[in-house]
A and B are shown apart, each in its own frame.
Chain A
Amino acid sequence: SQTIHQWPATLVQPVGSPLSLECTVEGTSNPNLYWYRQAAGRGLQLLFYSVGIGQISSEVPQNLSASRPQDRQFILSSKKLLLSDSGFYLCASTGTRETEAFFGQGTRLTVV
């Protein structure tokens, strides 16, 4: 099965600072990749998904952007963080079988 590496686990950033969260996938090729954000005690909001290198679909207009420079690398970025960007960010990947969808350990971002 595949493994999703996501880092850092926790991050505290000041308002207005840039952000870069990285997600890499092992054990599969050409996965569909996803970035989700989860507010405390709430559901998962899909932010971006990608079906291939350089292909990014945005679900929610916001202060964030995503890029996929390599097949198994997905990056979430922001030029200037807002307080409302705080949350738990999860990277996910679908496997070669349609029955699989795996998640990274998540990054807890606090914007202060």
Chain B
Amino acid sequence: AQKITQTQPGMFVQEKEAVTLDCTYDTSDQSYGLFWYKQPSSGEMIFLIYQGSYDEQNATEGRYSLNFQKARKSANLVISASQLGDSAMYFCAMRESNDYKLSFGAGTTVTVRA
């Protein structure tokens, strides 16, 4: 069964606006970690932000913030003040405490328009 679901294959956002990328996950573990990565056209995977299941506050890193709703099992990424350089594919990933696997969603392509 799919553990990470990203339902938005592609999104367009206007420069300087905020965009929210959806991510839902499936786990029966109480302890797990959630990651977001950015993959530009070059192919490299750039780590953006991490949220632990026991973290009480939503993670933030610069213009990136994670809207963590544990009861809904969602970990949406919010990019504020979008820039042209934010155009890329974005992946949500999860690692459960009792499993070493790092599982990824299908990704969301973000295109920032000037």
* Residues of A participating in the B interface, judged by any CB pair closer than 8 Å: 32, 34, 36, 41-44, 46, 49, 51, 57, 59, 88, 90, 92, 94, 98-103, 105-106, 108
Contacts and interface: CB of A to CB of B under 8 A. Distances in A.
B35 interface: yes
Interface residues of B, number: 22
Interface in B16-67: 33, 35, 37, 43-45, 47, 50, 52
A103 B44 CA distance: 7
Given A32-B100, A49-B101, A99-B52, A90 B107 contact: no
Contacts, number: 57
Contacts of A42: 106-107
Given A105-B44, A106-B43, A108-B43, A99 B104 contact: no
Contact of A43 (B44, B52, B102, B104): B104
Name the residue among A36, A41, A101 with the largest chain B CB count within 10 angstroms: A101
A43 B43 contact: no
A83 to B, nearest CB: 21
Contacts of A41: 89, 109
Interface string B80-114: 00000000010101010000111111110100000
B95 A101 contact: yes
A44 B47 contact: no
B91 A44 contact: yes
A100 B47 CA distance: 8
A64 to B, nearest CB: 17
A43 B47 contact: no
A3 to B, nearest CB: 13
A32 B96 CA distance: 13
Contacts of B95: 94, 98, 101
Contacts of B35: 101
A57 B33 CA distance: 21
